[in-house]
Homo-oligomer: A and B are copies of this chain.
């Protein structure tokens, strides 16, 4: 009986699956301790974890303040700081065409056996393509969310406790809080 792997990848490529690889998809605006806890756990269970930075072309918006390159740095520094090396980071642009989006991701990454996500659309799209999709438990979800971190940045509250130390460092160096506040100024005319 053919294994389920036949539906997972692109064409013959899937035969190459020997390592166990997982895919984690998020926007990471910014990378916080909720992401970090989940990714550390997945990384300890698989040979390699592919971390896709979604909406890679978005930045300098209230909901998406950081560039893909800046998010890349937050993730890699935080994981390296803990001695984790079995990860890959791949920026993924929005295609605004849901029915081809999984193909788009598949063409940019090595084949994976399982997908982790907390986004219902991502979950559905990968499921319809035949993937096993898991939705990780998020501890203390109310605090550890991107929108809470951004809210605290805007209000001058303690956002630093919600993210790994390396992320604090990156955001300080790029004047990230100042950027967010300037973007939040209301348009003066137009």
Contact = CB atoms under 8 A, between A and B. Distances in A.
B98 A58 contact: yes
User: Interface range on chain A: under 10, 10 to 19, 20 to 34, or 35 or more?
Assistant: 35 or more
A158 interface: no
A188 B118 contact: yes
Given A93-B93, A103-B99, A120-B182, A56 B108 contact: yes
Interface string A120-164: 110111011110000100100100111100000000000000000
A61 B98 contact: yes
A168 interface: no
A99 B59 CA distance: 7
Contacts of A186: 120
A26 B89 CA distance: 18
Interface in A16-35: 16, 26-27, 34
Given A11-B128, A188-B118, A88 B104 contact: no
Contact of A13 (B10, B70, B121, B141): B70
Contacts of A109: 68-69, 72
Contacts of A2: 1-2
Contacts of A99: 10, 57, 59-60, 67, 103, 106-107
